[in-house]
Amino acid sequence: MKIALGSDHGGYALKCDIIKLLESKGYEYRDFGCYSTESCDYPDFGEAAARAVASGEYDRGIVICTTGIGISIAANKVRGIRCARCADPLEAEMTRRHNDANMIAIGAGFTGKNLAERMVEVFLTTEFEGGRHARRVEKMDAIQP
């Protein structure tokens, strides 16, 4: 599985922790930025990671900013992206099972390293249930222009 990553300066440190986790688990990934704690704009990096997932080059995406909200909105502007801002492992599990989310957004200002790592592990290992949920995902995707 190939993972696309993106963050702004507020999510940079947590993204570095997530990269260590991905490396320890043997995941292939690409960091689409940012690359420091210097102030920057989350839409740039949320969009870049989302486009990589939407293109099919990457299977899933992880985006991080201070709240997780702005970068999730930016990612969700890309057609074919279903990015869920999650705050705990159960949300990460359910958004995969029921929404077939292909990206997760995390708020570094609210989520510590251990919790974020657990959410990422759950997000990357949980499969979509399909069934009645597939119909709903199709309806969500149809909303986009």
Residues involved in catalysis = 65, 98
Edge-first strand listing for the sheet containing 83-85: 28-31, 2-7, 60-65, 103-107, 83-85
How far apart are the C-alpha atoms of 132 and 26, rounded to whole Å?
33
